[in-house]
Structure 1
C-alpha cells in the first residue's frame, strides 16, 4: 500500500509541478480541469448515477469549465460568488454534520448531484484564480490545508480521545482538529517571519490576512482550518451514505480525486472571499 501511494504521488507530481510552475496559466488550468471533471464523475457515482450518467456528468462539468474559461470568466473577479459560497458551506456544515446521513438522505438526489457539481466547479475557478494572483498565494492556501491535515493526523493519533464526528468519521478527534489548527498557526507564523526577513516574497495568503490586523487574521485562519475539516467530513458523510470507502480507485493507494481534494473544496473559494474585499 505504501509503495502504491508513493508511486502514485510521484506520478501526479511529475505532471502537476510543471503545470504549476509554468509561466502562463493555460497548462495548469487545463490539467486541473481534467481533475475536476474526474471529480464530477466520482461525485455523480456517489449520488446514485450509473456509469453512463456519471461519465456524462464529469464530461459536462469539464466542458462547462472550458467554455467558461474561453469566455473570459476565469479572469473576471467574482467577490459576490465567493461570499455566497461562504454561506452555502456554513449551511452545509450546520445541516449535514448535525443531521448526519438522515439529513443527507432527506435531500433529493438531483439537488445533491447538481449542488455538488457546482461546488466542485467553483473550487476549480478559485484554484485557477488563486494561481493568477501568484504562485506564492496558491501555495500558501494549499499548504494550509495540507498542514492542517498532517498535523491533525499525527495529533489525533497521539492525543486523540474525544470523537469529533463519530457518526460520520470515527477516526477524527477534537484533539486532532486542534492539532491541525496549531499546525496552521505555526505555518502562518513561520511564513510571516520569513516574509518580514526577506526570505519569502509577499503576496501570500497570510500576508494578506495579517494586513487586516492580528485579530481578524487569527479568526480567518481558524475559519479556514475549520472549513477544511468540514470539507473532509462532508465527503466522508456522502461516502458513508453510499456505502463506499473511497470516491473511486483511480489513484492507487489514495482512493479517488475527491478523496484528495475534499478539504480544498470549501477552503479555496473561502480564501478567495477573504482576499476579495
Structure 2
C-alpha cells in the first residue's frame, strides 16, 4: 500500500509540478479542468446517482465550466461565482456537519447537484486567477491547505485527545486542527517577515487587510479547510465508501485530494477583493 501511494504521488508531482511552474496559464487551466471533471463524477457517485448518471453530471460540469469562461478571469474574476460558492460553504457546510441530514435523498440531493456545479466552476476560476497572479501566489494559496493538513496529522498523532467530529471523521482531533492552524500561521509569518517570493497570498492579505485582520483571515481559511474535509467525509460515510473513488491508487479519489481546497479557494479570492 505504501509503495502504491508513493508511486502515485511521484506520478502526480511529475505531471502537476512542471505544468504549475512552467506551462502557460492556458495549459494549467486545462489540466485543472480535467481534474475537476473527474471530481464532479465522484461527487455524483457519492450522491448515489446510478448508471450513466455520474458521467452525464461530469459532462454537465465540463460544459458549465467552459461556458463560465465568458465571465472572465484574471483582471476581472467572476466575483458573483465566488460569492455563491462561499455562501454554500459558510451556510450549508456547517449546517450539514451539525445537523447531519441525509444528503443523497430528496431536496438535499437536488440542492447538492446544483451546488456542486457552482463549487467546481468556482474552484477552477480561483486557481486560474491565482496562477495569473504568479507561481508563488498560487503555491502559497495551496500551502494553506497542505500545511493545515500536514500540521493536523502530526499534531493529532502527538497530542490528539479530544475528537473534533467523532461521528463523521473519528481520527480528527481539536489538537490536530490547532496544530494545522499553527503551521499555517508560522509559515505565513515567516514569508511576510522575509518578503519571501512575494507577492503571495500572505503578503497580499497583509497589504489589503493589515496584519491583525490578515491573521483572522488565515484562521478563517484554515477553519474552512477543515469544513471541506469533514463535508466530504460525511458524503463518503453516508455513501458507505472509504474513498471517493479509486482513481488515485493509494490516495483514494480526486475529491479526497481537493476537498479542503473547495471552500478555501473562493473564500480566499473574496478576502483579497
TM-score under structure 2 length normalisation:
0.94
The 8 Å contact of residues 47 and 104 in structure 2, kept in 1 or not, is answered as no
Per the alignment, residue 55 of structure 1 pairs with 55
Per the alignment, residue 263 of structure 1 pairs with 260
Per-residue deviation, residues 32-74 of structure 1 (Å, max 9, x unmatched): 10000000000001101114110111122123213333x3633
Q: After superposition, where does 1:1-277 map in structure 2 within 5 Å?
A: 1-69=1-69, 71=70, 73-75=72-74, 76-102=76-102, 107-195=107-195, 200-211=196-207, 212-276=209-273
Per-residue deviation, residues 197-255 of structure 1 (Å, max 9, x unmatched): xxx23221100111221210111011000000000000001111111110000000000
The 8 Å contact of residues 85 and 118 in structure 2, kept in 1 or not, is answered as no
The 8 Å contact of residues 101 and 237 in structure 1, kept in 2 or not, is answered as no
The 8 Å contact of residues 45 and 51 in structure 1, kept in 2 or not, is answered as no
How far apart are residue 113 of structure 1 and its match?
Answer: 1.6
What is the rounded CA distance, in whole Å, between the counterparts of 1:72 and 1:218 in structure 2? 31
- How many residues are aligned here? 271
Q: Secondary structure at the match of 1:77?
A: coil
The 8 Å contact of residues 244 and 253 in structure 2, kept in 1 or not, is answered as yes
Q: Secondary structure at the match of 1:149?
A: helix
Show structure 2 runs of 5+ residues with no match.
Answer: none
Q: Give the root-mean-square deviation of aligned CA atoms.
A: 1.7
Q: Secondary structure at the match of 2:100?
A: helix
The 8 Å contact of residues 165 and 173 in structure 1, kept in 2 or not, is answered as yes
How far apart are residue 192 of structure 1 and its match?
Answer: 1.2
How far apart are residue 110 of structure 1 and its match?
Answer: 1.6
What is the rounded CA distance, in whole Å, between the counterparts of 2:140 and 2:21 in structure 1? 15
Per-residue deviation, residues 159-203 of structure 1 (Å, max 9, x unmatched): 1111101111111010001111101111101211231xxxx2322
Q: Secondary structure at the match of 1:108?
A: helix
TM-score under structure 1 length normalisation:
0.93
Relative distance call for 1:236 and 1:86 in structure 2 (3 A) is: same
